Amino acid sequence: MDKKNCHLILILLIVSILLFAGVPRVYSIEATAQNQAYSFLANVLDFNMSTYDKTVVAYAPSSAAPPNTGFEGLPVESITVNLTSTSTHSLAATFTFVNGTLELCGLWTYDGSTVSPLYSQAEPSTVLGAVKGILQSYENYDEAVYVQPMLNMLDANPSLNGLNNATVTAGNLKCTIEVDDGSTTLNFHYVADGVDYDQKCLSLVFSSGILTSFSDKWSFYQTNNSLSINVPEQKAENIAWNAANTDDPNVTVTLTDNPQAALIGDVDNLTLRPIWVIQFYSNNGTVNVPANGVEVGVWADNGQIAYCTVMGYLEISNTPPSSLPTASPSQPNKNAASFDTSLTVGAAAITITAIAVAAWVFRKRSK
């Protein structure tokens, strides 16, 4: 290798290092989410994406999601993009993906004005027409076979016209429409034996006739058990009462055996299960007793305890107790975010360049 080529390679190496220093590590993941978002807007919501200038304003990798996401360990990532156009109001679109599958698409504007997207073609004039169009596109786009029964339900029930509040149940599908103050919300969710499983659902929100929220959690939850109710209420209350009085070491108050019971749908390991939720209250609360009751969850299919927890308490007495905890002021946890990364990159670039210069000088002198 001659000297000229050697220098050329050295220069290319330095340029490569400098360029890679500025590339975010999450770029490829962000790009995937970004592509998914734009694809959904174009193919399902029929946005004319070519008319928009698109900017990613925020990206949250799965590590940023709240600890208790409700998806039992599945990765959750989000992205917010700005869509600006010279011919209409700018809007923002926020997407959440669970395990790589769309869970939420929300459309909004920074000043709270009406969302007014630019579509590829003329849109239906009614909310019901828009719902059907979106669901049909979504069914094709995502191969979401569970959408067809929803479309069938809309076709078969004139009361689901998007203009009034309505509720229709057919088989394991329940549709509710809520019209309130300029917004219309449609929700499809799973039902079995009269128990609502709100977790497994698909919902759409329209504001002033324009879709502003699309949320699909249907595919995340399985229904591969029977969902049968094998434990009657009285038996569940007895199980809960015993648990509340014996199992939880935090329960230091006397409970009243006057349970408030509700049978609701729950999720266990991403699978639907019916559960009895039973609450008992304390009948002798005093200042500083750290409980006002206990809540017990009893699986309605097999009678096992799902959880037993002390319910909240908030003392709002205006007579503070005589014995008060004391603490001296100290410094806060300062996990400062004032670290200027641009300076770091700059410093690294200078260092690399300096090394390159030194190497070059050294090489020249050694000859």
Interaction of residue 1 with other proteins, rule CB under 8 A: no
Nearer to other proteins, 106 or 154 (CB): 106
In the three-class reduction of DSSP (H, G, I as helix; E, B as strand; rest coil), residue 97 is classed as strand
Q: Kindly tell me which residue out of 86, 341, 365, 366 binds other proteins, with binding defined by CB under 8 A.
A: 341
Interaction of residue 112 with other proteins, rule CB under 8 A: yes
In angstroms, the CA 297 to CA 304 distance is 9
Q: DSSP for 197-226, please give it.
A: EEEEEEEEEEETTEEEEEEE-GGGSB--S-
Q: Residue 302 CB, nearest distance to other proteins (Å)?
A: 16
Size of interface with other proteins, in residues (CB under 8 A): 114
Task: For the segment 6-45, give every residue that binds other proteins (CB under 8 A).
Answer: 7, 11, 14-15, 18-19, 21-24
Q: Kindly tell me which residue out of 100, 171, 232, 290 binds other proteins, with binding defined by CB under 8 A.
A: 290
Q: Kindly tell me which residue out of 102, 191, 275, 296 binds other proteins, with binding defined by CB under 8 A.
A: 275
In angstroms, the CA 184 to CA 45 distance is 17
Q: Are 196 and 174 in contact (CB under 8 A)?
A: yes
In angstroms, the CA 150 to CA 171 distance is 11
Task: For the segment 161-190, give every residue that binds other proteins (CB under 8 A).
Answer: 176, 178, 180-183, 185, 187, 189
Provide the Cα torsion 202, 102, 147, 68; round to 10°.
-40
Q: Are 173 and 150 in contact (CB under 8 A)?
A: yes
Interaction of residue 2 with other proteins, rule CB under 8 A: no
Q: Of the ranges 101-109, 115-123, 153-161, 163-171, which one interacts with other proteins (CB under 8 A)?
A: 101-109
Q: Kindly tell me which residue out of 288, 302, 355, 359 binds other proteins, with binding defined by CB under 8 A.
A: 288
In angstroms, the CA 39 to CA 67 distance is 29
Task: For the segment 193-232, give every residue that binds other proteins (CB under 8 A).
Answer: 198-199, 201-203, 205, 213, 215, 217
Q: Residue 58 CB, nearest distance to other proteins (Å)?
A: 3
Q: Kindly tell me which residue out of 66, 73, 158, 194 binds other proteins, with binding defined by CB under 8 A.
A: 66
194 Cα distance to chain centroid? 27
Strand duo 210-216 + 293-299: pairing = unpaired
Interaction of residue 282 with other proteins, rule CB under 8 A: yes
Nearer to other proteins, 125 or 364 (CB): 364
Supply φ then ψ for residue 121, to 5 degrees: -145, 170
Query: Going residue by residue from 293 to 312, which x/- string records binding to other proteins, judged by CB under 8 A?
Result: x-x-x--------xx-xxxx
- Length of the chain as a residue count: 367
Interaction of residue 122 with other proteins, rule CB under 8 A: no
| DSSP 8-state code for residue 345 | H
95 closest CA partner among 130, 47, 133: 47
Nearer to other proteins, 86 or 341 (CB): 341
Q: Are 97 and 71 in contact (CB under 8 A)?
A: no
Q: Of the ranges 117-125, 136-144, 159-167, 324-332, which one interacts with other proteins (CB under 8 A)?
A: 324-332
In the three-class reduction of DSSP (H, G, I as helix; E, B as strand; rest coil), residue 238 is classed as helix
Nearer to other proteins, 121 or 319 (CB): 319
Q: Kindly tell me which residue out of 2, 5, 258, 334 binds other proteins, with binding defined by CB under 8 A.
A: 334
Q: Residue 78 CB, nearest distance to other proteins (Å)?
A: 5
In the three-class reduction of DSSP (H, G, I as helix; E, B as strand; rest coil), residue 246 is classed as helix
| DSSP 8-state code for residue 114 | P
Q: Of the ranges 42-50, 120-128, 237-245, 285-293, which one interacts with other proteins (CB under 8 A)?
A: 285-293
Using CB atoms within 10 A of its CB, is residue 103 exposed (0-12), middle (13-18) or buried (19+)?
Answer: buried
Interaction of residue 73 with other proteins, rule CB under 8 A: no
Q: Kindly tell me which residue out of 314, 365, 366, 367 binds other proteins, with binding defined by CB under 8 A.
A: 314
Nearer to other proteins, 67 or 194 (CB): 67
In angstroms, the CA 176 to CA 168 distance is 7
